[in-house]
Structure 1
């Protein structure tokens, strides 16, 4: 009897698994838009191994065989414009499925970080924008934030393909939507498909494949860490936490012997800060652009009754940007390395005591915002039985070492999302392979400003790799140049945001099918997420019309050359409309720089298509314009587009 059962089991294991219902990849669905003029790739599963699967749309039909796992992929030839109806998928054994209300049109992929991710509901005039969507020939697909350490087969839709309507537009990218509205004004009849795949706080490295990262010189060790995490997440996390603690022992005086975490440590000389909250937005002098190590301390009083009979207590701290290590009464109770993760640490019995207890948190912030992300009710001590002791409020804090003082960077955490390597690519872009696109809109860079010097090379590789992935080496790309953000300065500074804008300008100008949507005048000095995405989207749409549709839409004025004359430095600008100084006699924001890097503000006047920077008699080898985080500007084309920020070498006499 046992022998018969074993034989039956062996036969079952050796034979192919029975196919289930025929399935299709989740980025392919009813109401979708297929890119006109390009082949349409369909794929899915559920077929018998080796079985023929056919796909039909209108008069186009194609067939292919499933692989040994029952997965199939069929590509229809280039589709004509104006086609609509159902896509039918059939397996030879009789299984079938149908995608209804499919149309051909133009598909745009909108990606990047928080300003692309900002939804209509969080932008200016959300109700009016939603109401105006009714009846427009625009379809929407929103990809759920999905981070994967290895390539995923499929995306996870947050909003599956749907006709745009007031009841589904609220969560969709406002910038992407307003771009589509501008494109639609040029051609009201061609359907548009918009794919929203963005993640707030992400770096460009999050959106690049491992192969692309290798070509940019990414650390082989970091990519190996990513592979290790894919195979053993818990083990990789433990090893990375240990490595981070060892690094901190050398880089941070508070971590040496956990001195600043000791329960009896005197923190009365530390200043106070509101927790939760990112310290860059606290308004405290010296913290506006601080990246480095920060310590926080607070206390909490407990009774013996609250502690219960030796039961565990949970410490919840919400999200912390980026890495934290937590001590209770000098005992380490938890650590996390990824900003997006909720902090929840179980405190073993005996660590807490009746009376006063100390909580110390070390935060390591390498870029962007740093500190507790909140909300306030996410910070609490959860007692046995579920009662919550709030922890939000005024904490003591102290700056430790800034990143500029580190002898070496902390151990990389390539699976951190955002601010890791390839994680968003693996989960959100890679699975879209085979999707026909008319173009890509890219609004990203804020999280790379601390490493602006390397952004141009990364942006070039990103563009090339995405074009290869979507099988179009000349695929149009619209880049949104970063708007104004950050404190204004009464003297010239080499602002990281200005450096990154210049990288965007240079890379866009290298390629005829890359457009630059200039937004320098649309920012808010104290808000990294300006809400008026209608104007940003309009400018994105104008650039899309120019580089993807060949329309005679004037771009923002760009510098061509800077030459020395008897009167000063003459800058020739490329503009088809002439220049206009708004609200003043002379343009502002120009600087002259010496070879040693010292810069000074300079007067300038406008002469038709040229700007003359007045010679002050001092040496100058470079001219800069709008070279601050939030520069004051008043120089525009007559169309209303601002002159693009730039720096330019002055040609020799």
Structure 2
């Protein structure tokens, strides 16, 4: 009898364990109520259920079916869905049904990078005014929860939300203002996915196998492997204890200066290679999007030359793994930051900006927004996110939505050295060059063969040329503009787009040989 009771109990427990498994229909968090699906393109929907189950997806009168594979995984690509809504998206696996309500179809953009992309709207200028007009039922937002992993994950924490003053407070200011401009212009639903983490390095957003495949990055990867092998929980606990001691002293001393921070565990932080790709990119790969805007680079300034390779590799890799071809990828060049200098000096930040600009020559369907005039010397997180988002929006509206707008900042096209002067010709000039505040162009330096740069005089010649000289350099061979952490510059075109910082020389910079953090 006792044996029979155990048998019946075991069978009952087995039934309880088996029933939820048979009833399982799982979809990642990228699919939720209030989501926006990308219009004018196939719509991928994926998830998992019991192996062999028949799965169907229905929306707006369209139904498609498939069968879950031996691992229970399935994917269905819906035909393009007209812009609009709200729709109900229904997924059925055998008798199990999940429904997502209030779904829209429109334009979906990923907003990624580090803290200047992550900075919440409540920390941007004029939020007290902006929050009065944030209610827009057709703008939807999704924040990918900050998480890291050593192996690729299939999901994340988060859900689509309506655009309200409360939901936007901590949502990317750049992303929201960018999306709002698109919504106002296109009059279609907009979906914005904030996928950013402050202080993240570019290599954290790349898969490990991609970095390992190129010997160029071996010093970087070996450095991290040695660091992780030597790092223990005891080490981290000791770091935390030391920081807590500093915080106590800071509080006892009247809270003067910045509060010391509790350190992040580098094993699962936002700087370790592949950590963020695994946890924040891999779970959403394949979701229908129009493109990506990117604001990152501050964490890589000490390795700016290496960024010349890492950044285009990032774009190529994400595009390839996303499976949507060379989708639009637009980034923000680093703003001006730190103290202004009384004499020309070398600059890591200038070299990182150059690495960003060089990517324009490497890849198709890319563009950059220049904000050398929108930073704050005292704060790495400038509050002016409107200028940033408007310049990104210009790019998207011109390139992807066929509006006749200037969107490229003027760039150096050629330089001619003659009679002790440099005559610079610029391209992508809307109307003509224009100097803000004062008539004389500011921000130019010039050097001879001794490679010693001095401040230069400058004069605009016609609509797209500037003449540069200095009595201290009778035979110049190199000219630079905006080549500093925080340069004093004033050259724009008539569309209000600032001149792109540049140099005519290729002399090795101060980050040329730095391969590790």
TM-score range with shorter-chain normalisation? 0.7 to 0.9
- C-alpha root-mean-square deviation of aligned residues, in Å? 3.3
Shift of 1:429: 1.0
- How far is 1:156 from its partner? 1.3
Q: In the aligned structure 1, how far is the partner of 2:251 from the partner of 2:486? A: 38
Give the structure 2 partner of residue 173 of structure 1: 172
2:236 matched to 1:336?
Answer: yes
**Structure with greater strand share of residues:** 1
Name the CA distance, whole Å, in 1 between partners of 2:4 and 2:449: 87
Of 220, 230, 240, the match for 2:230: 240
Question: Are the aligned partners of 2:124 and 2:383 in contact in 1 as well (CA < 8 Å)?
Answer: yes
Q: Deviations over 1:483-523 (max 9, x none)?
A: 10011111111210011111111213444521211100001
User: Which of residues 448, 453, 468 is equivalent to 1:613?
Assistant: 468
Per the alignment, residue 468 of structure 1 pairs with: 320
Gaps of 5+ in 2: 257-264, 507-517
SS in structure 1 at match of 2:90: strand
Separation in 1, partners of 2:223, 2:70: 30
Structure 1 unmatched runs, 5+: 229-235, 243-332, 346-360, 362-371, 382-388, 396-412
Name the CA distance, whole Å, in 2 between partners of 1:77 and 1:182. 28
Corresponding residue number in structure 2 for 1:563: 416
Q: 1:20 to 1:136 in 2, by over 3 A?
A: closer
In structure 2, relative to structure 1, the CA distance for the partners of 1:635 and 1:390 (3 Å cut) is closer
Aligned pair partner of 2:458 in 579, 604, 614:
604
Separation in structure 1 between the aligned mates of residue 100 and residue 44 of structure 2, nearest angstrom: 14
The structure-2 alpha-carbon separation of the partners of 1:648 and 1:2, relative to structure 1 and needing over 3 Å to count, comes to farther
1:322-471 counterparts in 2 under 5 A? 334-336=234-236, 344-345=240-241, 379-380=247-248, 415-471=267-323
- Which structure's residues are more often helix, by fraction? 2
User: Quick check: 2:23–2:96 contact (8 Å CA) kept in 1?
Assistant: no
Q: Identify the match of residue 56 of structure 1 among 55, 58, 70.
A: 58
- State the aligned residue count: 490
Q: Deviations over 1:239-258 (max 9, x none)?
A: 4237xxxxxxxxxxxxxxxx
SS at match of 1:336: helix
User: Residue in 1 aligned with 2:42?
Assistant: 39
- Cα distance in 2 for residues equivalent to 1:495 and 1:32: 43
Higher mean alpha-carbon deviation, 576-585 vs 137-146, is at 576-585
Could you tell me which residue of structure 2 aligns to residue 117 of structure 1? 118
TM-score norm. by structure 2 comes to 0.86
Preserved CA contact (<8 Å) 1:572 1:609: yes
What do residues 568-619 of structure 1 show as CA deviations (whole Å, max 9, x unaligned)?
2111111121011122231111112345532222111111211111264534
Q: How big is the shift at 1:115?
A: 0.4
- 8 Å CA contact 1:437–1:470 kept in 2: the answer is no
Q: Could you say which structure has the larger radius of gyration?
A: 1
Structure-to-structure mapping, 1:440-589, within 5 angstroms: 440-554=292-406, 555-566=408-419, 568-574=421-427, 575-589=429-443
Given that 2:24 and 2:50 are in contact with CA atoms closer than 8 Å, whether structure 1 keeps it comes out as no
**Deviation for aligned residue 1:552:** 2.5
Secondary structure of 1:522's counterpart equals coil
SS of the counterpart of 2:46? strand
User: Relative to structure 1, is the Cα distance of residues 61 and 218 closer, same or farther in structure 2, using a 3 angstrom cutoff?
Assistant: farther
1:642 is aligned to 2:498: yes
CA distance in 2, matches of 1:519, 1:221: 30
Distance in 2, matches of 1:436 and 1:450, equals 35
CA distance in 2, matches of 1:221, 1:513: 29
Distance 1:181 1:595 in 2: 50
Instruction: State which drifts further: 19-28 or 8-17.
Output: 8-17
CA distance in 1 between counterparts of 2:392 and 2:220 reads 38
